[in-house]
Structures are given as structure tokens and as C-alpha cells.
Amino acid sequence: MKILFLAGSLIAGLVSAQDGYFALCSTDSNCGNNGTCVIDQCQCDDGFRSIIGQVPCSVNDSACNTTSTVDQCNSDKSGGFCQNTGVCKCSSNFLDGLGQCSVSMNCDSSAAQVQCSGNGICQGGTCICNLGYHSVSAACDTKSTACLSDAYCSHGSCNTASSQCVCDTNWSASKSLLCDTCLNDSVCGHGRCDGLKTGICTCDAGWVKGADHVCNIWQSPSCTKDTDCGHGKCTSGACVCDATYESITTPCDQIIGDCGSAGYGNYCEHSGTCKMVQNAQNVLLPNCTCSSQWYGDRCESENFCNGNICPNVNETCVIKADFSGSECLNTGDICPSCNAAFAMKFSAFVIALRMMLL
């Protein structure tokens, strides 16, 4: 099996699965018993590889028997063959998936139907997967959201055994590398989910989104009577909160609290504003309000796409898979309007893919 280390100059995440898939890591312990952490990616020992959703470097490529009549190197008798060295060699356009040489990356460039599992483009008869998609059972069939801790996953948690984000119900990573894409209105609070178009919550009048991408901050407390204002008074059609209350999820519903006196003086990172608020059980807990450059429960994660407007059509700003920065990626058809930097990266990837398939 080839071990192809794709340098950081290539587009993060835009690699085919298996030989080019490296789990994130910060120490060797993140790579299981059969791998080493090189910079920030697990490089597996000879004879082992990483499969998305399983422990990094845990899949064992057993040696094949050149005298055996059993197809050991493919699942459909065309994926590969056993070399005299006792090592499987995959046929052109086949990759290792759940089995050796088990995933066909073949496609028909002239076909009108959706190919590459709908998550890639057919280029010269080969499926080239979109950012964040890899091939496990079929070409470009699996979304990979690599992580090291829950802080990477927004509305989700990190399965540290597999190094993959597990999104909460009704949240997805389909539009980015985080679980921050809404799937229906139920997760948007006081707003609506734009669904497949953008996956972004659009807030109702008077509500704005907090750092968790949900419309849960009340901004315009209009009223007709005092009972509309919780712990406050209705004055000239607007809620005026009592001295110790403010509006968070409904008008004048939360106690204004000082985080410092409660022992949370340094709770919010990167100059986030901290206030003590009550939860559903009336327990006061610290709550951070972050600037647009940061997000997370404690404003610990940097939003590298803040203020980064991509210059060309079909381009979208995304945070890199290793969370080291952002870049503009082409999210539509490959076209002449793509900028030169993207074209160079894409060409480098095609060359790398061809090397893998040799």
C-alpha cells in the first residue's frame, strides 16, 4: 500500500479516502497503537491505515497469498490483484475502502445523472470528492469532520476514539467542517432554517443569533402591557427591565450577574463579555457574548472567515480542517472564473491522485 503524505499546500480535506486520509492529532496517543503524529496528522505504520469513523491507524491490511484462488484484493474481481510480493495492488481508479481495493472511483463524464454519491465531480472519468468528503463504501460517500475535542464540533461532540464529530440531532456538517448547519426550523429558536440552500438560521423580527448560530437573543422587546415584559414594565410600547434583569430569550427574563464575584472572572476568552444567567433549573451559570471574530461557549474558537470575502464567483470561505486558518474554495462547477490559486491547488491534487492510482 502507498503512503502518500499530502502537504498543507493542498486543499485541506480535498483528498480521496484511505491512502490520502490522515486523522488529526496533537500527540502520538491520538493515533492509536499503530501510528505516529507527524505535525498534526496521523501517519500509520506499514500495514495499517485509517478509515473514517474508526480508530486512526487501526485497519490492518493483511498480506495476500499469491497462490490463493480467493479474491483477497478486491470485492468484485476487478478492484485489484495480489502481487508476487504478497501485497495488494489496486487497479486504476480503485481505492481501499472497508476492504482492500473495494471502492471504485470510476464515473462517466458525459452522464447526466448524479454520480460520485452527489458529493464530488466527475473529472476525466474519475470521481474527485468535494471538500470534507471521502470514499468508504462508494465514491465520495462519507462526510468527514475531523476533531480532537468537543470544541471543534459546534452543535456536536467529538468521538475521540474515531476523531470524528458526531452532530447533534437536526444539525449537520454538510455546509462546512463544523456541526453548524441547521436541518429544520426546530433548532433555530426564534427563527427559520434556510435548509439545503445555506443551512443558516434566519431570525424572526426582534431576535438575533448568538455565538451558537441560534436565534435566541431578544433584541427588540416591544409590548402592549406589563405582563409582556416579565421582570419589567411596558413603557411607550417598549419593555423597560427592572434594575437587576435583562432580556435574553424573552423580555426581561434573566438576572444580570457579575461573573467575577461568582468566581468566573476569566471564564470568557478573547475579550468575551461574561454575565451570570439562570438556566431552566434557576441555577446561575456564566454566559459569554463573543465578538464576531470568535465563537464557542467560552469564545475559544476563532472564526477565520469573519470579514473574509471571497473575490470570485462560486467561492465560499471555509475554515481549514486543522482549524489553522481559512481559504476560499470553489463550491460550484470548475470554471474559468476560478482564481489561479485554486487552479494550482486543484491541479496539484489531480497529480497526487494519479500518483496514488499508479
Mean pLDDT of 315-327: 76
* 8 pLDDT above the threshold of 50: no
CA-CA-CA-CA torsion for 6, 347, 94, 30, nearest 10 degrees? 20
* 64 pLDDT above the threshold of 70: yes
pTM here? 0.45
pLDDT of residue 217: 72
pLDDT of residue 3: 27
Helix, strand, coil proportions of the chain in percent (round to 5)?
10, 30, 60
Between these two residues, 69 and 266, which has the higher pLDDT value? 266
pLDDT of residue 13: 29
Residue 306, by phi and psi: left (phi above 0), alpha (psi -120 to 50) or beta?
Answer: beta
Highest mean pLDDT among 160-164, 166-170, 217-221: 166-170
What is the Cα–Cα distance from 251 to 101, expressed in whole angstroms?
Answer: 60
* 227 pLDDT above the threshold of 50: yes
pLDDT of residue 206: 75
Mean pLDDT of 193-204: 80
In this prediction, residue 107 has a pLDDT band, given cuts at 50, 70 and 90, of very high
Q: Running DSSP on this structure, what letter comes out for residue 130?
A: P
Q: pLDDT of 27-60, one tens digit each?
A: 898 888 999 888 878 888 877 888 887 888 888 8
- 3 state DSSP class of 45: coil
* 22 pLDDT above the threshold of 50: yes
pLDDT of residue 280: 63
Q: pLDDT of 125-158, one tens digit each?
A: 999 887 778 888 889 888 777 788 887 788 888 8
Q: Cβ distance 242 to 253 under 8 Å?
A: no
CA-CA-CA-CA torsion for 35, 38, 41, 46, nearest 10 degrees? -30
Task: Give the least confident one: 103-117, 273-287, 322-336.
Answer: 322-336
Highest mean pLDDT among 15-24, 202-211, 232-241: 232-241
Return the percentage of the chain with pLDDT > 90, whole number.
Answer: 2
* 16 pLDDT above the threshold of 50: no
* 1 pLDDT above the threshold of 50: no
What cell does 239 get? 419593555
Average model confidence (pLDDT) across the chain: 75
pLDDT of residue 352: 53
pLDDT of residue 10: 27
pLDDT of residue 279: 67
Residue 116, by phi and psi: left (phi above 0), alpha (psi -120 to 50) or beta?
Answer: left
Q: Cβ distance 270 to 299 under 8 Å?
A: yes
* 356 pLDDT above the threshold of 60: no
In this prediction, residue 18 has a pLDDT band, given cuts at 50, 70 and 90, of very low
Q: pLDDT of 76-104, one tens digit each?
A: 667 888 888 787 888 888 888 878 888 88
Task: Give the least confident one: 87-101, 154-168, 202-216, 326-340.
Answer: 326-340
* 234 pLDDT above the threshold of 60: yes
pLDDT of residue 19: 44
Return the percentage of the chain with pLDDT > 70, whole number.
Answer: 77
